[in-house]
């Protein structure tokens, strides 16, 4: 079974530029998550989708971050304009549903460096 | 208060020695508990999870963890470390419906030859 796919794997941009990350979840998974992992820290949830609706975006910096999940499958996370503190790994993940205790499967991450 | 605390950001053991990575949680409801492993430049891989079926949970690669309600702990152990176990390990808690999966700050395990 194919896992969670993410691209690009690595991206270096200058501050104030924009960047977009793409994610394709495991087939059949209704719930999709975007996490931010800063070096030396655990992943932090940015946004959670259930099908194509947003369930939780309370920790998403909405002045610069946006995400969408059109048609309830693929998702895109965008940052515009980027700041130095946005340097992190952006992990996409998916699960069958958002029910507590469901296993969440992670992609390999998109590594962002803002210079 | 932190919902999950991992004691020791770095742990170093000799190859063949016992691995013990500590995790304590706070929850007013029965939690779901997870251990994930992250190898360099990779995403997170599930090692094991506790869902109240049994207090001793066996996972992949010889790891296991025991849920101790009285100590609010879910420590990860492996009897004999292998060089390939060198990675970062994250404990995570999900405190029921309406909550989300919350990760600890991670423990980096080094294995000495």
- The answer to whether the CB of A58 falls within 8 A of the CB of A107 is no
Angle, vertex CA A86, rays to CA A83 and CA A88, nearest 5: 150
Whole-angstrom distance between the N-terminal and C-terminal Cα of chain A? 37
Interval B3-56: pLDDT, tens? 899 999 999 999 999 999 999 999 888 889 999 999 988 889 999 999 887 899
Interval B70-111: pLDDT, tens? 999 999 999 999 999 999 999 999 987 778 899 999 999 999
B106 to A41: CB separation less than 8 angstroms, yes or no: yes
Distances (CA, A) of A94 to A65, A68, A104, B104: 20, 14, 6, 20
Q: Looking at the partner chain, which of B51, B101, B105 has a beta carbon nearest the beta carbon of A104? A: B101
Alpha carbon of B93: minimum distance to chain A alpha carbons (Å): 9
């Amino acid at each position: 079974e194919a896992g969670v796919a993410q691209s690009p794997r690595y991206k270096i941009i200058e501050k104030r530029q924009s960047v977009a990350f793409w994610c394709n979840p495991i087939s059949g998974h209704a719930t999709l998550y975007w996490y931010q992992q800063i070096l030396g820290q655990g992943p932090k949830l940015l946004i959670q989708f259930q099908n194509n609706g947003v369930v939780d975006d309370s920790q998403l910096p909405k002045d610069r971050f946006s995400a969408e999940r059109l048609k309830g499958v693929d998702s895109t996370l965008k940052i515009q304009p980027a700041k130095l503190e946005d340097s992190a790994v952006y992990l996409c993940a998916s699960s069958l549903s958002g029910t507590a205790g469901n296993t969440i499967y992670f992609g390999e991450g998109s590594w962002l460096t803002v210079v | 208060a932190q919902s999950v605390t991992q004691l020791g950001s770095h742990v170093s053991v000799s190859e063949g020695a016992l691995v013990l990575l500590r995790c304590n949680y706070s929850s007013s409801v029965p939690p779901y508990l997870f251990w994930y492993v992250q190898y360099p430049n990779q995403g997170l891989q599930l090692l094991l999870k506790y869902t109240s079926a049994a207090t001793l949970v066996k996972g992949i690669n010889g790891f296991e963890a025991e849920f101790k309600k009285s100590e609010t702990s879910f420590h990860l152990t492996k009897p004999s470390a292998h060089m390939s176990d060198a990675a970062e390990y994250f404990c995570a808690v999900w405190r029921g419906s309406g909550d989300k999966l919350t990760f600890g700050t991670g423990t980096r395990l080094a294995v000495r030859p």
